[in-house]
Amino acid sequence: MPTSDAILDVYDAGPTTVVGFGNRDVLDDINLALCREELVKLLQSAKAKTLGFDLTGVRLIPSGFLGLMASVRGLGVNVHLYNPSPDVREVLETTNLNRLMPIHEIDFSARRNDQA
């Protein structure tokens, strides 16, 4: 799915699909409708059962994007979050989204480097 206008960096596609955000530290410039469309296509083509968001380096997530991440669960996939910053983790805990989307710490640097 790598295209020049892709919003997401896809690390793995398959039953467990993992995406990142191209070293963005703030996710406020992402068009949510286009991002959701890209996610739906990716999840369908990969026949994903689990979607992981790599939040490495992300310092700020707007509420609309939090809603998007949570709403993906309605597509019948589990959503996992990887490497949120302390600020993002605090928001996830305050909103109880950490109960809907488990948080993990995993080093994806090799996968990100493969995409470069």
Predicted TM-score of the model (pTM):
0.85
* pLDDT surpasses 70 at 112: no
**For residue 30, is it within any domain?**
yes
**For residue 79, is it within any domain?**
yes
User: 58 with 25: CB under 8 angstroms?
Assistant: yes
DSSP type of residue 54: E
**For residue 1, is it within any domain?**
no
Mean pLDDT of 25-29: 77
Chain-centroid distance of CA 52 in Å reads 6
Residue 1: which pLDDT band, with cuts at 50, 70 and 90?
Answer: very low
**What is the predicted pLDDT for the residue at 77?**
95
CATH code for the domain in which residue 55 is found: 3.30.750.24
**What is the predicted pLDDT for the residue at 30?**
81
φ, ψ dihedrals at 21, nearest 5°: -125, 30
Compute the distance between CA of residue 116 and CA of residue 108 in angstroms, rounded to an integer: 13
Give tens-digit pLDDT for 36-82. 999 999 999 999 999 999 999 888 888 888 999 989 999 999 999 99
DSSP type of residue 14: S
Strand locations in the chain, DSSP E?
A: 9-12, 16-20, 50-54, 78-82, 103-104
Domain containing 71 equals 9-115
**For residue 3, is it within any domain?**
no
**For residue 4, is it within any domain?**
no
Domain count, the chain: 1
**For residue 41, is it within any domain?**
yes
Compute the distance between CA of residue 46 and CA of residue 12 in angstroms, rounded to an integer: 9
Chain-centroid distance of CA 7 in Å reads 11
* pLDDT surpasses 90 at 106: no
Percent with pLDDT over 90 in the chain: 54
**For residue 2, is it within any domain?**
no
**What is the predicted pLDDT for the residue at 47?**
94
